[in-house]
Structure 1
Amino acid sequence: MTNFIPIFPLGIVVFPGEQLNLHIFEPRYKQLISECVQNNKPFGIPAVIDKKVNEFGTLVEIEKVEKEYENGEMDIRTRGVKVFRILEIIRELPDKLYAGAIVNYPEDQQRSNKRLREQVLHALRELHHILQVSKTFPHEDDSLRAYDLAHHAGLSLQEEYEMLHLFQELQRLEYLKRHLNRVIPLMTEMERLKDRVKLNGHFRNLSVDNF
């Protein structure tokens, strides 16, 4: 399916199912959001990386306008729906301050693998343990998707974007698994290095057997 959507480019990656809170203050986006609320329409957030609007983004729905300010600014709660691909950006629209895009929606394969998901979750929790951070996920383990885990894995913006346009759940889980298998040994070594630095200059009881 191909259609036209208003777009709100941002320097982030939004994943389907993700809740995103936004403060709207620019005149063009105040107009965009007001029209989307009035007409109950979604809008698109394409990822901006290195000042470039990229080909893929996520369609989002406005769940609630949390607060409206006297100057027209708004706090809104949105949720990602599905990934789109930009076919053409239309920068000037009649009577509009914002831009739009003609997009299509790549088909997504949701088939998962329990063992692979468990491996990713185990590695992710190991990373969080090393970093001494506590994270909660929006669903029970059996219902979690790669999209639910991506922002918790320490991916760079570019890596999150790469994962956004993987259109099979198995591919996304494998991507996370490879990433975690790469960074966990690095983080473990950093923790060991930190411990060695802490020991430097302290009195230590050391001995070597058989001497």
Structure 2
Amino acid sequence: MTRFLPLFPLNLVVFPGEKLNLHIFEPRYKQLIQECETSGVTFGIPAYLQNQVSAIGTEVKLLSIQKIHSKGEMDIKTEGLRLIRVLDFFKQAPNKFYPAGTIEEIPDVLNEDPQLKIKITECIRQLYSILGINKIFLQLPANYRIFDIAHHLGLTTEQEYELLQLPDELTRQEFVWLHLQKLLPVVLETEKLKERVKMNGHFKNVVPPNF
């Protein structure tokens, strides 16, 4: 089933369930947010990559307008709802300043592998421990989804968009598992290098070999 939805393309990837804070300053998007506040309409955020609006994005809802600045700029809080596919993109909705498009919802398949999730969780624990950000790991709920951690895995924007396009939770788990398998050894080696650099110039107690 298709429907018409206001769109707010951004040079970032928004995931379902994500809480996103935005500073709104362009007149066309100030108009959109004002309509969201008065009518409760939602809007889509498709990723703007390689100078074009991507086909996949996330429908979001306005949670609150936190502040309106003297020149009308806004600080807002939003939340990602669901994945959408943009079928047709229009630079301006009828009689509006902001873009819009014909979209369809993308159903989400929650078919996670519990054993793979344990492996991913352990890798994340190691990674966050090395990086000194254990607080993020401790705040991770047991029922987390891949989308919940996607911004905390060292992915590029292009990789995040690749993840956003994957059709189900199991495929996302496999994507993240492969990424962590590549990332963790690099981070470990970097930490070892930092330690070697720190030791340079210290008095070394080195036992010579017997021969």
TM-score tier, shorter chain, comes to over 0.9
> In structure 2, how many angstroms separate the alpha carbons of the residues matched to 1:182 and 1:63?
37
| 3-state SS in 2 of match to 1:173 | helix
| Structure-1 residue corresponding to 2:141 | 140
Question: Contact 2:2 / 2:102 at 8 angstroms: preserved in 1?
Answer: yes
Distance 2:62 2:199 in 1: 52
Poorly superposed stretches of 4+, deviation over 6 Å: none
Farther off after superposition, 131-140 or 145-154: 131-140
What is the match of residue 16 of structure 1?
A: 16
How far apart are the structure 1 equivalents of 2:141 and 2:127?
A: 19
Match of 1:78? 78
Give the equivalent residue in structure 2 for 1:43.
43
TM-score by length of 1: 0.94
Identity %: 43
Aligned residues: 210
Question: What's the counterpart of residue 194 of structure 2?
Answer: 194
Q: CA RMSD in A?
A: 1.5
Q: Secondary structure at the match of 2:160?
A: helix
Look up the match of 1:25: 25
Q: CA deviation at 1:136?
A: 4.7
Q: CA deviation at 1:13?
A: 0.6
CA distance in 2, matches of 1:137, 1:79: 22
Alignment of 1:43-192 (within 5 A): 43-134=43-134, 135-136=136-137, 140-141=141-142, 143-192=143-192
When residues 157 and 176 of structure 1 are mapped into structure 2, their CA distance, relative to the original with a 3 A threshold, is: same
Q: Structure 2 stretches of 5 or more lacking a match?
A: none
> Normalised by the size of structure 2, how large is the TM-score?
0.94
Give distance in 1, aligned partners of 2:170 and 2:26: 39
Structure 1: which 5+ runs fail to align? Answer: none
Partners of 2:90 and 2:101 within 8 A in 1: yes
Letter aligned with residue 96 of structure 1: K
